Amino acid sequence: MQRRDLLLGAAAGLALPAAARGAPAGIAIDTPMPAPRWATLQRRLFDANATACEAFYAKYVDAHDRLIVTERWGANDGPDDAAEATNDWELLHALGGSDNILTLARRFWEGHLCQFTTARTTQVPIARAGMYYREFPVQMDWQHNAEGLTSFNLQGLSTPRDAKLAARTRRFADFYTGRDHDAPNYDPARQMMRSLLNGSRGPMLRAATPLDWAGDPFDPTRFHMEHGERTYQETLDHYAEYGDVVGDNPLNLQATTLGLNAYALGLGERFRRWSLDYLDAWVARAAANGDVVPSKIAPDGRIAPDWWGGTYGWGFSPVVPQTGKRENRNRVSRAITAFMNGTLLTGDPAYIEVWQRQRALLERHARTIDGVAHVPTMHNADGWYGWTPTPNRTNGFEIWYVTQSPADRAAAGDHPWIAFLEGRNARYPEQAIEADLTRVAERAARARADRTTKETRLADWPIDINPASVGSLVALTTGGLHIARPSWSKTSPAQGGVTLHARLRWFDADARRAGLPEDVAALVTAMGDRTCAVTLVNTGVQPRTVIVQGGAYAEHRIDAVTLGGRTTTVGTRDATVRLAPGSGASLSLSMTRYANRPTLAFPWDR
């Protein structure tokens, strides 16, 4: 990883001439443009989200801002699911949604922290004194920890100067840097996490039991059970083979998002350094394991002889108690988001190259079954298994998004959004926004018809009723990926708790807040490695001033902006655009991606 620090003189933006370090370039748009249908739909979607989310809050959150559910501990329906009830509300505000949505999202976050700090188990040892300790899960895996942090990890997008957010981010990150001796999850000498199960009370250094995963005894017949369990025994049996947790696991890499958050909030270089040191250790492990990210690291820091082992590893195919059949549950692919963090933190492509090499290796192991080529998705002592028909799409979209390389384009598949960006699907923007409007309406209707009560509702129930629908807004306004639960793309693993990866980000210069100003709509129409085209429209009767930033974390440099054949040199992280009432235009941006270290500071505070 020697390339990494060689890039950082330029990456920090320190070499720019004095003129380029001044105020952002100003661009005026005064050409009348009747509001296109996609623009009016986009503004309608912001409004529909706000109305539906407010109604959801009134029904599912009580006067103390606590989720109205039966509190339980466990991977099925525990605190992480409660935290997900308002998924995408933070993101909605950061894109330009109402201030009230942000207020409700923050009220809920505080309320659920109190709720699950107070909630206790009677039999699960680790949570008898509270399911949260120091405002963080006491001990769980990073599939579930990450999902529960989906909202928290995006709070800095809207309020980067919030002192309480800074304090929490520092505390949460230090649970994993080795600094917090009450939570010794990380071994700095071996650059490894000590267990798959970890949290504010430290790591589990014994074999996990089904009780640890499933929570206290209860009667599941009163509730909707996501996995279909009919008895408490079936809930326990779901986790009968989840015992192998001691040692490191690639899912733990998602903790690096906490380090990225801390660094981007300006809390210090040491958080960036820790994230990269931990990532670099995994880069080396993959190289030593024949270009496959191992799923089991022994307590001594070495790759385990059964490198495919561990819960959620390459060889993890437990029995489903309801059917008696084995189900493949390899979750290694989720770790790619941490390697995307590495590129975001450094500009170094070496992190995503780990996944390019792993994909290539899997494809070399392809075999023909019934005349169709298949690639493996699993591995055990007998070799590769879990064959799936080609083309192999796992992680292909994320790899292509980061590299923007023609060589990686085929692996991304022919998603309708890509077809639009390539000029082959002109109707996509309207169709995507209309689909989100339909989703908002359908979920609002489900909430109105819902007759469950606190006594018949588990924490995972409201997740699929939460009406917030932002997938089209992320893609169309920012050129970004909505990596969330459920996944924005069927070719990517469903997950949560990751950073926002975007080509552009918007700020309301007059209101001094994140997101598109009122009445303004944006449509990213094309993207390349060094280019981005976007149409901006002011649908209202008031002038608006919007700042366009390169990347969600100002990681991309805007080199120049071309409007109507005239090019304005920029050379900084952002540019200011003034929109007359009823005006609009298409802008062409020349960009250098990953040229800057990430920051959450607003443009006027930098």
pLDDT (tens digit, 9 = 90+) per residue, 105-126? 999 999 999 999 999 999 999 9
Instruction: Judge whether residue 485 has pLDDT over 90.
Output: no
SS3 label, residue 254: helix
339 and 279 Cβ atoms separated by less than 8 Å? yes
Q: What's the whole-number mean pLDDT along residues 76-102?
A: 97
Q: Which two tokens stand for residue 193?
A: 């996490």
Residue 455, domain member (yes or no): no
593 and 47 Cβ atoms separated by less than 8 Å? no
Residue 512, domain member (yes or no): yes
Q: What's the whole-number mean pLDDT along residues 548-571?
A: 97
Please tell me the pTM assigned to this model.
0.94
pLDDT in tens, 246-275: 999 999 999 999 999 999 999 999 999 999
Residue 50, domain member (yes or no): no
Residue 192: the pLDDT is 98
Instruction: Considering only residues 495 and 82, tell me which one the structure prediction assigns the higher pLDDT.
Output: 82
DSSP state of 251: G
Residue 575, domain member (yes or no): yes
Q: Which residues of 3-41 are buried (b: 16+ CB within 10 A; e: fewer)?
A: ebeebeeebebeeeeeeeeeebbebebeeebebbebbeb
Distance, CA of 462 to CA of 68 (rounded, Å) = 9
User: Pick from 10, 95, 173, 152: which is nearest to 555 by CA?
Assistant: 10
Q: What's the whole-number mean pLDDT along residues 212-228?
A: 95
Instruction: Considering only residues 14 and 75, tell me which one the structure prediction assigns the higher pLDDT.
Output: 75
Instruction: Judge whether residue 227 has pLDDT over 90.
Output: no
Q: How far is CA 289 from the centre of its chain?
A: 27
CATH number (domain holding residue 515):
2.60.40.1180
SS3 label, residue 403: helix
Q: Which two tokens stand for residue 149?
A: 């942090």
Which of left, alpha, beta for 544 (phi over 0: left; psi -120 to 50: alpha)?
Answer: beta
Distance, CA of 263 to CA of 271 (rounded, Å) = 6
Q: Is 388 exposed, middle or buried, given 0-12, 13-18 or 19+ CB atoms closer than 10 A?
A: middle
Largest Cα–Cα distance in the chain?
70
Residue 334, domain member (yes or no): no
Distance, CA of 224 to CA of 233 (rounded, Å) = 16
Instruction: Considering only residues 6 and 418, tell me which one the structure prediction assigns the higher pLDDT.
Output: 418
DSSP state of 554: S
Residue 586, domain member (yes or no): yes
Distance, CA of 233 to CA of 236 (rounded, Å) = 5
How many domains are contained in the chain?
1
Name the band, by pLDDT with cuts 50, 70 and 90, for residue 6.
Answer: very low
150 and 159 Cβ atoms separated by less than 8 Å? no
Whether the ω angle into residue 603 lies within 30 degrees of 0, i.e. cis, is no
**Residue span of the structural domain in which 581 resides:** 507-605
Residue 546, domain member (yes or no): yes
Cβ-based neighbour number of residue 146 at 10 Å:
27
pLDDT in tens, 334-375: 999 999 999 999 999 999 999 999 999 999 999 999 999 999
Residue 245, domain member (yes or no): no
166 and 177 Cβ atoms separated by less than 8 Å? no
Cβ-based neighbour number of residue 389 at 10 Å:
12
Distance, CA of 575 to CA of 559 (rounded, Å) = 10
Residue 24: the pLDDT is 55
Q: How many residues does the chain have?
A: 606
526 and 504 Cβ atoms separated by less than 8 Å? no
SS3 label, residue 231: coil
